[in-house]
Amino acid sequence: MSNVSEIFGTLVFNDHVMKERLPSETYKTLEKTIKEGKPLDLEVANVVAHVMKEWAIENGATHYSHWFQPLSGITSEKHDSFLTPVGDGTAIMTFSGKELIQGEPDASSFPNGGLRATFEARGYTAWDPTSQAFIKDEVLCIPTAFCSYTGEALDKKTPLLRSMRAIDTQAQRVLKFFGEDGHQVIATVGSEQEYFLISEKDYARRQDLMMTGRTLFGAPPSKGQELDEHYFGAIRPTVNEFMKELDDDLWKLGVTAKTKHNEVAPAQHELAPIFTNANRAVDENLLTMEKMRLDASHYGLTCLQHEKPFEGINGSGKHNNWSLSYDNVNLLDPGDDPIDNLRFLVFLACVIEAVDEYQELLRMSVASAGNDHRLGADEAPPAIVSIFLGDELGAIVEALINGDEYHSAEAISMDLGVAVLPQFLKDNTDRNRTSPFAFTGNKFEFRMPGAAVNLSDCNMILNTAVAKSLKDFADACEGLEGAEFEKAAIAYVRQLLADHQRIIFNGNGYSEEWEKEAEARGLANNRNTAEALPCFVSQKSIDLFEEFGILSESEVRSRYEVKLEKYTKLLNIEARVMIRMARRTYLPAISKYMRDIAETITSVKEAIPSSNMDEHEKLLARLVKGSNAVATRIRTLIEEHDAAEAITDHQQQAYAYADKVIPAMDALRAEVDALECIVENDYWPVPTYNDILFYN
């Protein structure tokens, strides 16, 4: 086992390394850039680049890469070596300030939603010093933002950074009223990543998994998760080895991998890091996902990060824990006496307002073909956004709204009745797993994001929406101080809570009654991606992003286009894979089994004409009927798919995929899955759920 503190961060050009290696003037200038967003001049960049290169080479790097996140959401990199020939047949290793701060990758093949014509193929990457450079596979990776020649954002990181600035500015204005100004306010995020590990051999035998990341066919396994034996269960030895290597790799990269455990579903696991600033948290999460996929292959395993790899088995989410803090002060920490903590109540009320006002945008930010299988099913929060506050905070909010006096229920101590055990203070925020947006003591946990999503979008929206609420508050209290401010602030908080009470729901989010009640409360319920996306280009959304300089109207529209396109393209692939598998994999296997049964019947009857072959005949009839149904449903799917493909309006096309193609896919699947249960195992051409989910 490795010594964690010895290896931690060894592959990261972190603050410690910078302080140690950079000339102190350079370090100070760079720190200003990082903290205050001051531009970095080329001379300083040259010094930083040189030191960075020396450090990277000492640690085995031969190449460098601008590491960025195009709108596909995954990371991209292009490796350039440090090599520079000097003309006499030898070479030296160089890296200039210009190469550090700016790159020019050919951008024509990244999704851009029509923002940039392909003839203007140049894109620019710009160093983001608020994240950290690191070494991965002998490449010095420099986190960068990616934009077009005209400065439009072509990536996920740029708007997130802009939103970090916006919330910092507005939160600082609010803190000024409390005499706590002059501190940079940071949105913090801790993301919990769920994933499946299955055997590489099974994976390789399933076209659907390889092409789409999920099983498009498959009858339920003989046992699912009903015994609750997997959750927090002992970890399989191979998986354990994998987790150890993963931890080591992540620690070296400065990712604070903290918690690992088995999840609810068989073969499902989770990894949670310690939170950090939202921007780095997203970078770290993407690195984590990449390392998971890579390290799994060292153990003959494949890591599935799709939101729903297996029908009827829990899907994978990525909980986004979010808070605001400066220095070591968490602004969502209620302290001992939340009712007396006005600052906490102001921030709380502003978050509540933001989530209510922009609930549809939040829902939109996690919409994808994959996540559609999760949200609204009985395992993940519904597609309706609501906030859980818990009993104590819920009671405080209610008292504030009604103008009642609040009597604290007091932290309830829990006596376990065994003297040697310590007395626990019962967590006042009883966990409610069904809520999409839950207050968990000193942060909010947004549970709608799926395992595959890039968390930039939801944090960008959360930051911006909360920045707006904070701005409105600061505007309203402008010029007030002391008792006058306090009075105005309490009145403001009361009003906000009363106006946005509808978003607060402490009950069971999985229940049918909630869906009805939510509708009565006027909460949005966008059931699938096609329904969820249009709000992105609504006037209200464009106004919000423009007000805070997060996204221009054309940037919003291009992003919407990219999301639509991704949705329909994915479903297009799924439909094609299904048709192909049904025709070329399943039907031939079923026919072969049918023929063998038919031959059995004929030959047995030939041998003993009086034999009773009723059961065989029934089975044969069932197989004939089933394979005919499969053939018919293939035809229907082809028709629906062709019709959807022919639609030119992208939004209408997305609706057609959601409303017509998906039901046709489901229908085809149902027929094949039903046959899986009656066709003899040896004939079945792909590994089943039983094979895939229960392995050693």
Binding site for ligand ADP (CB under 6 A): 188-190, 192, 259, 272-275, 319, 321-323, 330, 442-443, 445
What is the per-residue binding string for Mg ion in 307-346, x denoting contact by CB under 5 A? ------------x---------------------------
Q: Specify the residue, 348 or 489, whose C-beta has the smaller distance to ligand ADP.
A: 348
CB of 326 to Mg ion, least distance (A): 24
Q: Classify burial at 453, counting beta carbons within 10 Å of its beta carbon; exposed 0-12, middle 13-18, buried 19 or more.
A: buried
Between CA 257 and CA 260, with CA 259 as vertex, the angle to 5 degrees is 100
Nearest CA to 93 among 42, 52, 141, 44? 52
Q: Specify the residue, 332 or 400, whose C-beta has the smaller distance to ligand ADP.
A: 332
Q: Does residue 209 contact residue 304 with C-beta atoms inside 8 Å? A: yes
Q: Specify the residue, 445 or 640, whose C-beta has the smaller distance to ligand ADP.
A: 445
Q: Does 443 bind Mg ion (CB under 5 A)?
A: no
Q: Specify the residue, 252 or 443, whose C-beta has the smaller distance to Mg ion.
A: 443
The helix (run of H) or strand (run of E) holding residue 131 is: none
Give the HSE-up count for residue 366: Cα atoms under 13 Å, Cβ half-sphere.
36
322, interface contact from Mg ion, ligand ADP, none, CB < 5-8 Å by kind = ligand ADP
190, interface contact from Mg ion, ligand ADP, none, CB < 5-8 Å by kind = ligand ADP
CB of 441 to Mg ion, least distance (A): 12
CB of 447 to ligand ADP, least distance (A): 9
Alpha helices in 548-613 (DSSP H): 553-581, 587-607
59, interface contact from ligand ADP, Mg ion, none, CB < 5-8 Å by kind = none
Q: How remote is the C-alpha of 56 from its chain's centroid?
A: 30
CB of 84 to ligand ADP, least distance (A): 43
The helix (run of H) or strand (run of E) holding residue 459 is: helix 456-477
Return the range that interacts with Mg ion (CB under 5 A); candidates 188-196, 295-303, 305-313, 386-394: 188-196
Pairwise CA distance, residues 86 & 657, whole Å: 58
275, interface contact from ligand ADP, Mg ion, none, CB < 5-8 Å by kind = ligand ADP
259, interface contact from Mg ion, ligand ADP, none, CB < 5-8 Å by kind = ligand ADP
169, interface contact from Mg ion, ligand ADP, none, CB < 5-8 Å by kind = none
CB of 443 to ligand ADP, least distance (A): 4
Pairwise CA distance, residues 162 & 143, whole Å: 16
Nearest CA to 193 among 449, 15, 423, 488? 449
Start-to-end CA distance of the chain, whole Å, equals: 23
CB of 192 to Mg ion, least distance (A): 5
Helix-then-strand count for the chain, H and E: 24, 21
CB of 441 to ligand ADP, least distance (A): 8
Nearest residue relative to Mg ion (C-beta): 319
Strand locations in 220-317, DSSP E? 257-262, 268-273, 276-277, 301-304
CB of 244 to ligand ADP, least distance (A): 19
305, interface contact from Mg ion, ligand ADP, none, CB < 5-8 Å by kind = none
Q: Specify the residue, 218 or 254, whose C-beta has the smaller distance to ligand ADP.
A: 254
What is the per-residue binding string for Mg ion in 50-89, x denoting contact by CB under 5 A? ----------------------------------------
Q: List the beta bridge partners of residue 189.
A: 276, 322
Q: Specify the residue, 148 or 323, whose C-beta has the smaller distance to Mg ion.
A: 323
206, interface contact from Mg ion, ligand ADP, none, CB < 5-8 Å by kind = none
The helix (run of H) or strand (run of E) holding residue 121 is: none
Pairwise CA distance, residues 237 & 696, whole Å: 8
Torsion angle defined by CA atoms of residues 303, 305, 308 and 312, in that order, rounded to the nearest 10 degrees: 30
Catalog residues that contact Mg ion under the rule CB under 5 A: 192, 319
